[in-house]
Chains A and B, each alone.
Chain A
Amino acid sequence: MQRETWTNLAILLGLLIVPLWAWVTDEPFTITLATRAVILAIAGVGLNIALGLGGLVSLGHAAFFGIGGYAMGVLASHAQAYSPLLEWPILIEGTKSMPMIWLVAIIAGALLALAIGALSLRTTGAYFIMITLAFGQMLYFFMISWPAYGGEDGLSIYVRNGFPGLNTLDPIQFFAICFTLLVLVLWLFWQVNRSAFGLALGSARQNPDRLRAVGIHPDRTLLVAFTISGAVTGLAGALFADLNRFVSPTMFSWQTSGEIMVFVILGGVGRLMGPVFGAVLFVVLEHVLGGVSEFWHIYLGAILLGVVLFARGGLIGLIAGRAVAHG
């Protein structure tokens, strides 16, 4: 526990120091890489609420990542074209304001997760995995065949959205925004885990019959967790779209779902900083191995296979010991 706390602080500090150093030495690309890691980490923390705390093996989190991305894409594209999103029954304009976009992304992610969760939680185990995967794929195909917002080609946003008082086009300032949001999301995860709701959620994961016997519905508890999880992943999607100034149906693809899950597992499932460590590792591997070989996914696959077969508890588990911190 103590060792895990130090490991966690070291990871967070490292994630802060590297881009600051890059800022001092004027290497904007490194800052962008760090920002990418931070945003993917937020998506991972979102999944970790469902997967790590609730034990829900969702292979459809790309749906929430994607809808967050499109919340940004749709709002910003209307704003840059000066055309309203909706004129009747009420006038809704597009926006280039990050806080507004985040709010819409969070609400959209939560509502979508509520709908998908309500259906998927009628089942458990392997069914749940297949169904979440299928609903993710449904949205992917829908975005491809829906021509209004770019279809298969996606949407480009020419100028990054704004945040009051900051220049978001400056890489280090955008990084600071994302890093702050990551810290907030980690705080949320920590609060949920040690709350009464988290205690019930842990029981829904370990032993739903026990939870029922004390008079608490496991399904409702899990649905709330899944909804929170979708909201956080939706926020990450909006940030990711803003980082790239581009959204496309790829955000909805099953590979995206798989990769978000990989962050969580590489780092250590159910651990506070697991997804952060996993996302950093993923971005580093992508960058380093991607430089070595065009086929770096082979190495990623081999590493993942090794972690699953031989290092259960993830890499933080290897560093900080096996016991998972609960409460």
Chain B
Amino acid sequence: MSFVLLVEQILNGLQFGVMLFLMAAGLTLIFGVMGLINLAHGSLYMIGAFAAAATAAATGSFLLALAASLAAAAVVGVLVEMLVIRRLYDRDHLDQVLATFALILIFSEGTRWIFGSFPLFLEIPDYLSGPVSLPLGVQYPLYRLTIIAIGLVVAAGLFALIARTRIGIQIRAGEADREMIGALGVDISRLYTLVFALGAALAGFAGALIGAIQSVQVGMGEPVLILAFVVIVIGGIGSVPGALVGAILVGLTDTLGRFLLPIFFGTFMEPSAATSVGASLASMAIYVLMAAVLIIRPRGLFGAA
């Protein structure tokens, strides 16, 4: 194991982590403010990716593709919120789970109906492709580095939005006491739609960014959604800082687990056995992390006790 390889893996873990943060931030905000558990968040991720791939294919512009992903996910988010989600705020979690599961079925099959079953591809633009040289002789893909930078900028923007702006004050008030913000004269249903659209846009944006690394296909959202749940459980439901810390932890644990565990088993096992045992255990690493957090802090690292 070389130092350069390790740094590269750590950066991969960070990149994975910030992408998970974009998903988890929206989910945790929607839960914190509206008390809604939204399984269809992964569909918004997928919609963002498809919108980006289709726009890039039509216009050739990556920036337009990113803009399209934000717009499409936000618009679908607003529509879904107004047509379905808003009827679920007063329902129990079971109804929320079922209704949003139904939305996954509708969105996934709808997308397959429009775009077919074959994956689409979103090309990384020339100006973001190729490696860059970092200090200490590390070479790293510019695009992945850009994702890390964008993710951190979005995180900073989100913190500023929540800490500094009027909307942020309303969001925090809503997390503290849902009845109270009505009394403060805030238009609750507008606030809810706005928060949902914000979460949707972040998910769609994440889908587009990752769409350029992986293929764009139906069903791409749900594995990410479940990882985002793991992030939220670790960070604490409703906490945006918790989502950031949880996301980075999960990203690093998963990436480094896949990298280091086979090497570790290789020190005392045959190479092929070490690879398979290492890979099997690495696939469980983040869930073991989640279980450990549950045992120590059942409400998550940043959750209220």
Contacts and interface: CB of A to CB of B under 8 A. Distances in A.
Interface of A: 51, 57, 59, 119-120, 122-123, 125-127, 129-131, 133-135, 137-138, 141-142, 144-147, 254, 258, 261-262, 265, 269, 295-298, 300-302, 304-305, 307-309, 312
A247 B124 CA distance: 39
Contacts of B291: 119
Contacts of A142: 280, 283-284
A174 B84 CA distance: 43
Contact of A261 (B101, B106, B276, B280): B101
A134 B298 contact: no
B232 interface: yes
B95 A131 contact: no
Contacts of A129: 37, 93, 97
A309 B280 contact: no
A80 B194 CA distance: 59
Contacts of A130: 37, 229-230, 232-233
Contacts of A262: 98, 101
Contacts of B226: 133-134, 137, 254
Contacts of B51: none
A265 B91 CA distance: 15
A129 B225 CA distance: 13
Which of B110, B283, B298 neighbours the largest number of chain A CB atoms within 10 Å of its CB? B283
6 contacts: A119-B291, A129-B97, A134-B229, A261-B97, A298-B105, A301-B106
Contacts of B237: 126-127
Contact of B105 (A59, A125, A137, A300): A300
Interface in B215-244: 222-223, 226, 229-230, 232-233, 237
Interface string B77-110: 0000000100100000111011101111110111
Contact of B283 (A51, A145, A265): A145
B299 interface: yes
Contacts of A134: 226, 229-230, 233, 287, 290
A122 to B, nearest CB: 4
B294 interface: yes
Contacts of B136: none
B93 A126 contact: yes
B230 A297 contact: no
Interface of B: 31, 37, 84, 87, 93-95, 97-99, 101-106, 108-110, 112-113, 222-223, 226, 229-230, 232-233, 237, 276, 279-280, 282-284, 287, 290-291, 294-295, 298-300
In the A-B complex, the 8 residue pairs with the smallest Cβ-Cβ separation, listed nearest first, are A301-B105, A138-B287, A130-B229, A301-B106, A304-B102, A141-B283, A305-B102, A297-B109
A131 B290 contact: yes
B276 A147 contact: yes
Contacts of B106: 297-298, 301-302, 305
A297 B108 CA distance: 9
B233 A254 contact: no
Contacts of B84: 305, 309
A144 B110 CA distance: 28
B200 to A, nearest CB: 18
Contact of A295 (B99, B112, B282, B290): B112
A304 B93 contact: no
Contacts of A146: 276, 280
A6 to B, nearest CB: 27
A190 B96 CA distance: 28
Contacts of A127: 233, 237, 298-300
A126 B37 contact: yes
Given A57-B93, A126-B237, A295 B109 contact: yes
Nearest to A120: B294
A169 B104 CA distance: 37
Contact of A131 (B93, B97, B233, B280): B233
B25 to A, nearest CB: 15
A229 to B, nearest CB: 15
Nearest to B287: A138
A130 B105 CA distance: 19
Given A123-B298, A130-B232, A57 B284 contact: no
A133 B226 CA distance: 7
A48 to B, nearest CB: 12
A305 B103 contact: yes
Contacts of A296: 109
A298 B109 CA distance: 6
A57 B96 CA distance: 11
Contacts of A57: 93-94, 97
Contacts of B294: 119-120, 122-123, 131
